[in-house]
A and B are shown apart, each in its own frame.
Chain A
Amino acid sequence: MLQYNAIVDGQLTIGTSYEYEFLTDPIYGTRSIPNVNRERTNNTATSFFVNYGLSDKFSLTLFVPYRSVTNEKVLFRGQNDDQYDGGKYIRHASGVGDMAFMLNYALPRFSKLPTILLSAGVKLANGSIDATDKYGKRFSDNLQIGSGSVDPIVALSLSQAYHNMIFSAEAFTRITMRENIYGYKYGNELHGILAADYPGALFYGGLRLSYLLATRDHYEYGKITRERGGTWLYLAPRLGIKVWDSLDFDISLPFAVYQNVNESQLTSSYQIQINTTYHLAL
């Protein structure tokens, strides 16, 4: 969100991002398996974020996602009491997801040392966790747009210019503090990112390697959830353009290079991310 960890006093940064993911390939661990129910999930998140530089050291960020989750599958006979003979079954949830507030602090910069940014904040529990199917039954937590838990977020990032490139690294974690009202507790997440970017005057871009470790979820206040959590590694080429001096537009295509999931899970071989960022001096 903060390009190359820059905090500028009095600068307001407004951005939007669109992320799309189509999960349709089931794997067991790392091995591809048959998709018995022809299941697939469309995940989209259109997010709005605002960052304001309180000083040249501190900034505040607000992140508001609008999520849409659609899961489709073909049921077998008897798999759902409300639809005994089976057939197509769709679950859909959409709305404002869990928002996040972050306070960012740029460490004092010494020459030739990387820019270091520390961030801490909270992910709120405002997203709905009550979406129901067409029979009025609440469906799985992993298809809801909210988590139902207020959780801390901590991030550390650093970046360093080297010749005409900027190299950056980031670690980001979300620790789930408690179960939601239905007794479901998401696993913790740890993200790691390594990136190399070319900051051109008109066009910019680069390559990003993203690592995600997610632990298992739990349901009914402590029972282990099957088919949740795992390890993912994505490689994402990114290309951007400075539409104006203050307006950036970029597109990124993360594609999975390694996926190791707990039991069987639907996966996606690629994602699409489109971002716009507008900088405004107040």
Chain B
Amino acid sequence: MKRYILYMMFALVAGVSHCDLYVNSDEPRDYYEFPDFDILTLGKNISDMIMDPQQPYLYLTDYGNNAVLRVDIDGEMKVDRTLILGSHPIAMDVTPDQRSLIVGLYGESSLAIVDLANFTIADKVPVSLVGINDFVCASNSRLFVSAHTEPNVVSLTLPEKVEQDEIIRSGELLASPDGNKIFVASTNILQKYDLSSGFITQEAWSAPFGFQAKINDFVYGPNGEHVFLCLADQDDRTNVRDVLAFSTTDLTLTGNFEIKSAGMGVAVSKDGKRVFVAPTEADAAGVFIVEFDAETKLEKDYYLVAGNLKAKCIVIDQNDQYLYVAVNTPGDNDSFEPYNNNSFDLQRIILH
């Protein structure tokens, strides 16, 4: 009898637990996954990131420690080499022949040329500008360098190290793969210059932004049809809530990728079909990289990251398998300890 009563008790709990009162009638949709974070702890103030075009290396400028880090991304991420370059590296570009990494130094008016084959400093080129913010390699021997303090860029010819003032406005710079076009995102407009004739002429310009913009990132689309621009309005953070795409032909607006806050960075897959946008702000559940369909401009996927993101610090690997982003994880920047406010790590994200 006792046994039967116990059986009845079990049956009661088991039966009741399956009645409607204890069954969820509907399930919400899952929009994102919770993968284990793959993070290389660095604790550095990373100012730029660039992928080696041939080798499994990622290069990071360590602004606070005047260095470039070479991160081996084959297997477990690890800092392979650290190269001290000079004061405050701010921007990087790879020469079209893919042999050299050039690093702009904000703190000492020069560019450092790094031989990618052996990761050593091959040369250092002085520039007359103070406060370099960006540069671009139009060819293996011709660079355009911009500084916040100057209205126009200068060009550098290598290896002669000849500097020349140009009519191109200062700003964030891009070059077309053939080196014949230069794109400039300045504080209020986007402009395109033609170099093919031997003389520099302004070819197109966008509609003005309508406010003094901070350029967080400026990316040339891999299929050559679009440039992607991440703007921020420092006077009104609610003003910009999207990333813009412009036609490389006439700089008309071709896309608007809404992310509810200013874009910090953008990366595009090699086929140009997938656009990954790093937002400035988190949503209630965390910080997400948002993937858009380049054609429909609609959100397609979401990737949770470990912390706040950094301007220019999102890149995609050569095989479109992984995204790499600089993340500032919470909890390490709420005190007065030195160097704790720009403590970025490197996160690798597997693309779906």
Q: A interface vs B, CB < 8 Å?
A: 28, 31, 33-34, 36-38, 74-79, 84, 86-88, 112-114, 116, 156, 158, 160, 169, 171, 173, 175, 187-188, 190, 192, 211, 213, 215-216, 224, 226, 229, 262-264
CB nearest neighbor in A for B5: A114
**In the complex, chain B residues 281-303 whose Cβ is within 8 Å of any chain A Cβ:** 281-284, 286-287
Is B337 close to A, CB under 8 A?
A: no
Complex Cα distance, B1 from A112, in Å, reads 9
A36-B304, A113-B1 are known contacts. Are A76 and B34 too (CB-CB below 8 A)? no
Contact size range, B: 35 or more
Sample 9 A-B pairs with CB under 8 A, ordered by A number.
A78-B283, A79-B282, A114-B6, A169-B9, A171-B13, A187-B24, A192-B17, A224-B24, A264-B34
Q: Which residues of B contact A28 (CB under 8 A)?
A: 34
Complex Cα distance, B12 from A211, in Å, reads 14
Known A77-B281, A79-B283, A188-B22; further 12 A-B contacts with Cβ < 8 A: A36-B287, A36-B307, A75-B282, A75-B330, A76-B287, A78-B280, A87-B333, A171-B13, A173-B16, A190-B13, A190-B16, A190-B17
CB atoms of A113 and B5 under 8 A apart:
yes
Q: Give min CB distance, B28 to chain A, whole Å.
A: 5
Query: Interface of chain A, helix or strand or loop or mixed?
Result: loop
Q: B interface vs A, CB < 8 Å?
A: 1-2, 5-6, 9-10, 12-13, 16-17, 21-24, 26-28, 30, 34, 36-37, 237, 261, 280-284, 286-287, 304, 306-308, 330-331, 333-334
Q: Which of A34, A112, A171, A211 contacts B36 (CB 8 A)?
A: A34
Q: Which residues of A contact B1 (CB under 8 A)?
A: 112-113
CB atoms of A262 and B24 under 8 A apart:
yes
Q: Which residues of B contact A79 (CB under 8 A)?
A: 281-284
Q: Give min CB distance, B248 to chain A, whole Å.
A: 31
Q: Which of A112, A156, A215 contacts B23 (CB 8 A)?
A: A215
CB atoms of B9 and A86 under 8 A apart:
no
Q: Which of B16, B23, B26, B307 contacts A224 (CB 8 A)?
A: B26
Complex Cα distance, B36 from A100, in Å, reads 42
Q: Which residues of B contact A74 (CB under 8 A)?
A: 330-331, 334
CB atoms of A188 and B21 under 8 A apart:
yes
